Amino acid sequence: MQKLINKRSIVIDYLMMIVGTGLLAAAIQCLYDPIGLVTGGFTGLAIVIKAVTERFVPGESHSG
């Protein structure tokens, strides 16, 4: 019985992480990126690096 509860808890934890990641990605794509805002942490650092290197690295931009 304890293993079933533990497995269910692990599955719920992973589902919550997936939902949270999806919500953050949607917020960045729909809200932050179009108006030029940057989030904090590693995500914000990645957005800044993307914005700086877009000018130098040839390729297709996915930000609108």
Residue 40 lies in a domain: yes
Q: What is the pLDDT of residues 22-47, one digit of tens each?
A: 999 999 889 988 888 888 889 889 88
**Residue 7 is encoded by which pair of tokens?**
């497995």
Residue 58 lies in a domain: no
Residue 29 lies in a domain: yes
Range(s) of the domain holding residue 20 = 2-53
| Rounded-to-integer distance, Cα 49 and Cα 55, Å | 11
Q: HEC string of 1-54?
A: CHHHHHHHHHHHHHHHHHHHHHHHHHHHHHHHHHHCCCCCHHHHHHHHHHHHHC
User: What's the predicted TM-score (pTM) here?
Assistant: 0.64
Total domains, the chain: 1
Between 58 and 55, the higher pLDDT residue: 55
Residue 64 lies in a domain: no
